[in-house]
């Protein structure tokens, strides 16, 4: 017995272009195979998507913190420059013999 279900899918031009793109990305030749691929891999693809969003959010927070640190460092250098009576001497680099 055939337990496959049939349905009709009506797509506008933009959606059809995306379906063609999906076929290329999934390595499928037919619209049906591309849709079946998406359905059977949805959980995995969704989990990867959420993981990438979380990584992106973590990186954004890290870079914001680094930006604040750099801003604070520049403000501190600016404050030191304003203190004309204070001479800032940076340590010289030691030469390492090979």
- Overall number of domains in the chain: 1
> What confidence score (pLDDT) does residue 20 get?
96
Mean pLDDT of 58-74: 96
Q: What percent of the chain stands above pLDDT 70?
A: 90
Does residue 8 lie in a domain region? Answer: no
CA 47, distance to chain mean position in Å, is: 14
Does residue 91 lie in a domain region? Answer: no
Mean pLDDT of 4-23: 94
> What confidence score (pLDDT) does residue 1 get?
59
Does residue 6 lie in a domain region? Answer: no
Q: Write down the pTM of the prediction.
A: 0.55
Which structural domain range is residue 55 located in? 13-85
DSSP string, 13-78: HHHHHHHHHHHHHHT-SSHHHHHHHHHHTHHHHHHHHHHHHHHHHHHHHHHHHHHHHHHHHHHHHH
Does residue 97 lie in a domain region? Answer: no
Q: Which residue has the higher pLDDT, 58 or 86?
A: 58
Q: Which residues contact 61 (CB under 8 A, 6 or more apart)?
A: none
**pLDDT at residue 33 greater than cutoff 70:** yes
């Amino acid at each position: 017995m055939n337990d496959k279900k049939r349905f009709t899918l009506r797509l506008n031009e933009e959606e059809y272009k995306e379906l063609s793109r999906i076929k290329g990305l999934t390595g499928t030749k037919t619209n049906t195979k591309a849709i079946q691929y998406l359905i059977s891999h949805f959980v995995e693809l969704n989990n990867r998507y959420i993981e990438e969003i979380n990584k992106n959010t973590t990186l954004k927070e890290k870079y914001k913190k680094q930006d604040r640190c750099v801003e604070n460092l520049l403000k501190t250098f600016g404050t030191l420059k304003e203190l004309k009576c204070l001479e800032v001497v940076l340590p010289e680099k030691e030469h390492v013999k090979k």
